[in-house]
Amino acid sequence: METHTFFLHLLIILLSARLFAELAVRVGAPSVIGELVAGIVLGPSLFGILQPDEVLRLLAEIGIILLLFDVGMDTDVRRLADAGRSSLIVAIAGFITPFLLGFLTAYSLFELSLLTSLFIGGTLTATSIGITVRVLTDLKRQHKKESEIVLGAAVLDDVLGVVLLALLYEFSVGGGISLANAGKVLLFVSLFFILAPIMARIISLLIKRFDSVSDIPGLIPTTIVSLVLFFAWLAHVVGAPEILGGFAAGLALSRRFFLPFGMALRTDPDFALRIKKEMRPIIQLFTPIFFVVVGLSLNLHEIDWSSPFIWQFASLFLAAALVGKVIGVFFIKESRFIRTAVALAMVPRGEVGLIFAELGRTSGIFNNEIYAGMVIVIALTTLLPPLMMKWFYGHYRQPS
Amino acid sequence: METHTFFLHLLIILLSARLFAELAVRVGAPSVIGELVAGIVLGPSLFGILQPDEVLRLLAEIGIILLLFDVGMDTDVRRLADAGRSSLIVAIAGFITPFLLGFLTAYSLFELSLLTSLFIGGTLTATSIGITVRVLTDLKRQHKKESEIVLGAAVLDDVLGVVLLALLYEFSVGGGISLANAGKVLLFVSLFFILAPIMARIISLLIKRFDSVSDIPGLIPTTIVSLVLFFAWLAHVVGAPEILGGFAAGLALSRRFFLPFGMALRTDPDFALRIKKEMRPIIQLFTPIFFVVVGLSLNLHEIDWSSPFIWQFASLFLAAALVGKVIGVFFIKESRFIRTAVALAMVPRGEVGLIFAELGRTSGIFNNEIYAGMVIVIALTTLLPPLMMKWFYGHYRQPS
């Protein structure tokens, strides 16, 4: 691509993200909806001005890992651990139910093949941690109890999603499934998630020491971005989703980070604050690119809207996707307010569902009609919950 | 490219830029030398870990226009105008002399073809504004008189370089040269340079007004980066180098911007300061990428170091490149201190020379040996002057 064309595309993305976000807020929706809509409008769904090409996709990936880094920095590790039990229940129930509902509907009702049905189940499982977190932040609920539960659940959900994808991939190429392999992935990911924040913490202390002896300006932006990139890369190497690397790096730099045995790794609040301050503009620059690119990737144009099959198919799976995620909250001991908030926040599928659906299409497991149906389900689960959450918080107050 | 590979490449670039910059400062060189050397070490010249691929090249381009934007913001327009006469002399003399010396040496001494000789002359003309400005900033001389002269001269130089490239390109494809076309390019570029800062100024006032009514955080990073990208794109459209767009946008936001007739466009120092503060981490993140990519693009491995022809060829053209740039300062009325500083600062060729040489090679005008010789000349003119400037400022004081 020529440089000036790239400049033009990037500025169109940044400006339209901003304009649509402002419009979204004016009509009472969270700003992330505006950014997603900007992508849908610019992309193949509507005007076809932009394609989600490689460069944009890579910039978007930087955006999402930086967003998760930001979320990690704001997370209170102790509270995340406290919410652990509830998170686990919400994650597991919200993972298994949509998978089973999706699979059974596809296999018995629509009589699709075993592999296709399994893939449809997979597409319905994973919550989009990025969209969920952005909505909670847009609504200024990111430090509330329900957010800790949702965050923990969404992270676990992502891990389970990766394990499932690994299993389904094996099944689709080899025909069999090795539980040993799945266990290995799970083990690696869990180890990563325990060790990465400690490692990142040690590195951040090195950066701080380096900071006091370096004369060249610009240490924090380059080294902290490198730290985030490194853990995203490392996450991939051990088989975990890259965004978990960003989240782990953020947790490590959180002012509320604690280690049971690590008093020597205590936080310097001034340094954490400086990192927060210098990273903010960089994060604010990159994250809208991610949400616009998610919108660009949704090609609503490919859908034959007049086909009755599509509507029937999409509504049944939409129901499976909604019910499947909501069920988990009936098993946790929280107020009805928190349970409702958690249920709504777990619904968005966003980019994770799209990755599954895309994989299904490119490997020939989904035909165009099934793919189109899944895209409708993903679009609705992505666009509706933010509006519902906004409405919910506007009409109900947390009982204190 | 896969996402995690890209993350790895980017973090290698950011970290090695930092490490080599720190080393450079320790041994008494400006930090930009470290970043260039990092690129040479990582690139095909030495370890071959990284290639200057499309994504890195585009990120580097963002880096250079943001650097020029930063320089523009720090520029005192009135002082730039005051230095105008000296800048003009330095630019024109420093443009014509290396071109003629290079052309004549190639044509009469080495008996190369007319087109090849013209291209060699072209390769020797343009000063790398990026490297020059970074060195002056590294040495904390960016607000001194010599910097105003050099900045003005380097900008004019870039404009002349573009006109020359357009002419040579026409000549190489059609055989003839149209002065009308060259005049048109010059007119467009000049108009752009007068109108762009005024336009950018008006847009920045709109952004400021918008800022007071918007609730969504992150307005400045996205809109100001968009502004810079827009003017870089616009510069390209009118036929000017993209970096001039970045510079023009920066000038417009400078706290010392003035318009003879535009009191209504007066600067709000608080807003300018906020822009400066929020843009700084973004600029610090992107600029090292540019200098590392310049280093990556220098393939010293392709050079047959044992060929005596290469050495003879390179030393003669190095002399032409040095003498050609220095001559201009004899015509300006400044102290010997300032004249020496200006002369040294005008020498670096960097990426501009590489673009010329690359174009020469890909269009078959340069064979491998001539290309290699040119690369040596560019490498030396890029790496030596920063060291010489550092030494010069360390040993001489400006007479006051």
Residues 6+ apart with CB under 8 A from B398: B144, B335, B337, B338
| Minimal-distance CA residue of chain B relative to A288 | B222
Per-residue pLDDT tens over the stretch B126-185:
788 888 888 888 888 888 888 888 888 888 887 787 778 777 777 776 666 677 777 877
Mark yes or no for CB contact A54/B55 under 8 Å.
Answer: yes
Per-residue pLDDT tens over the stretch B298-328:
788 777 788 888 888 999 999 998 888 888 8
- Give the C-alpha separation, A243 to A66, whole Å: 8
- The owner of tokens 């290995």 is A184
Alpha helices in A238-305 (DSSP H): 242-253, 269-297
Say what the pLDDT of residue A287 is. 92
Comparing C-alpha atoms, which of B332, B257, B388, B384 is closest to residue B91? B332
- Terminal CA-to-CA distance of chain A, rounded, Å? 56
Q: Give helix B242-253 / helix B145-174 axis angle, nearest 10°.
A: 150
Say what the pLDDT of residue A369 is. 84
The alpha carbon of residue B284 is apart from the nearest alpha carbon of chain A, in Å, by: 5
Find the CB nearest A226 among B15, B57, B232.
Answer: B15
3-state secondary structure of B258: coil
Per-residue pLDDT tens over the stretch A43-98:
988 898 998 899 999 999 999 899 889 888 877 777 777 778 888 888 889 889 99
How many beta carbons lie within 10 A of that of residue A366, not counting itself?
A: 23
Mark yes or no for CB contact B54/A58 under 8 Å.
Answer: no
Residues 6+ apart with CB under 8 A from A131: A32, A36, A291, A294, A348, A350, A351, A382, A386
Say what the pLDDT of residue A332 is. 86
Residue type at position B54: E
Find the CB nearest A14 among B226, B280, B287.
Answer: B226
> How is B19-48 classified by DSSP, letter by letter?
HHHHHHHHTT--HHHHHHHHHHHHSTTTT-
Task: Give the number of beta-carbon pairs within 8 Å between A and B.
Answer: 154
Residues 6+ apart with CB under 8 A from B253: B72, B73, B200, B201, B204, B224, B272, B275
How many beta carbons lie within 10 A of that of residue A169, not counting itself?
A: 13
User: What is the percentage of chain B residues whose pLDDT exceeds 90?
Assistant: 24
Say what the pLDDT of residue B263 is. 47
In order of B197, B224, B225, B287, the CA distances from B229 in angstroms are 14, 9, 6, 15
Q: What is the CA radius of gyration of chain A?
A: 21
Comparing C-alpha atoms, which of B299, B323, B294, B296 is closest to residue B371? B299
User: Which residues in chain B are contacts of A221 at CB distance < 8 A?
Assistant: 281-282, 284-285
Say what the pLDDT of residue A263 is. 47
Joined together, the tokens standing for residue A299 give 């090609």
| Minimal-distance CA residue of chain A relative to B284 | A218
| Minimal-distance CA residue of chain A relative to B11 | A226
For the cut 50, the answer to whether the pLDDT of residue B395 exceeds it is: yes
Name the DSSP letter for residue A108.
I
ipTM value of the model? 0.85
| Minimal-distance CA residue of chain A relative to B222 | A285
- The owner of tokens 């503060």 is B277
Pick among A59, A211, A285, A289 to test the B interface (most B CBs inside 10 A) = A285
Mark yes or no for CB contact A18/B233 under 8 Å.
Answer: no
How many beta carbons lie within 10 A of that of residue B365, not counting itself?
A: 21
User: Which residues in chain A are contacts of B214 at CB distance < 8 A?
Assistant: 22
Residues 6+ apart with CB under 8 A from B7: A61, A62, A65, A229, A230, A232, A233, A236, A242
Pick among B222, B278, B287, B351 to test the A interface (most A CBs inside 10 A) = B222
- Mean of per-residue pLDDT scores for chain B: 85
Say what the pLDDT of residue B105 is. 93
- Give the C-alpha separation, B241 to B129, whole Å: 11
Q: Are A63 and A286 in contact (CB under 8 A)?
A: yes
- Give the C-alpha separation, B292 to A16, whole Å: 32
Give pLDDT < 70 ranges for chain A: 173-177, 255-267, 398-400
- Give the C-alpha separation, A253 to A183, whole Å: 30
* Vertex B205: Cα angle to B199 and B210 (nearest 5): 125
Q: Are B196 and B231 in contact (CB under 8 A)?
A: yes
User: Which residues in chain A are contacts of B215 at CB distance < 8 A?
Assistant: 25
| Minimal-distance CA residue of chain B relative to A219 | B18
Mark yes or no for CB contact A285/B288 under 8 Å.
Answer: no
What are the structural domains of chain B?
3-395 (1.20.1530.20)
- Give the C-alpha separation, A244 to A154, whole Å: 10
Q: Are B79 and B148 in contact (CB under 8 A)?
A: yes
Mark yes or no for CB contact B230/A284 under 8 Å.
Answer: no
3-state secondary structure of A111: coil
Residues 6+ apart with CB under 8 A from B320: B98, B101, B102, B105, B124
Confidence band (pLDDT; 50, 70, 90) for B266?
low
| Minimal-distance CA residue of chain B relative to A217 | B284
Q: Are B353 and B296 in contact (CB under 8 A)?
A: no
Q: Are B196 and B165 in contact (CB under 8 A)?
A: no
C-alpha dihedral over A232, A237, A238, A241, to 10 degrees?
40
Say what the pLDDT of residue B23 is. 93
- Give the C-alpha separation, A128 to A140, whole Å: 18
pTM to 2 decimals?
0.86
Give rounded-to-5 percent helix, strand, coil for chain A: 80, 0, 20
3-state secondary structure of B217: coil
For the cut 60, the answer to whether the pLDDT of residue B261 exceeds it is: no
Q: Are B331 and B89 in contact (CB under 8 A)?
A: yes
- The owner of tokens 């950014």 is A35
Pick among A229, A274, A276 to test the B interface (most B CBs inside 10 A) = A229
Find the CB nearest B285 among A21, A221, A237.
Answer: A221
Per-residue pLDDT tens over the stretch B8-43:
999 999 999 999 999 988 887 778 888 989 999 999
Mark yes or no for CB contact B222/A6 under 8 Å.
Answer: no
In order of A88, A95, B127, the CA distances from A166 in angstroms are 21, 15, 53
Three-state SS string over A27-69 comes to CCCCHHHHHHHHHHHHCCCCCCCCCCCHHHHHHHHHHHHHHHH
Find the CB nearest B222 among A1, A229, A285.
Answer: A285
Say what the pLDDT of residue B255 is. 66
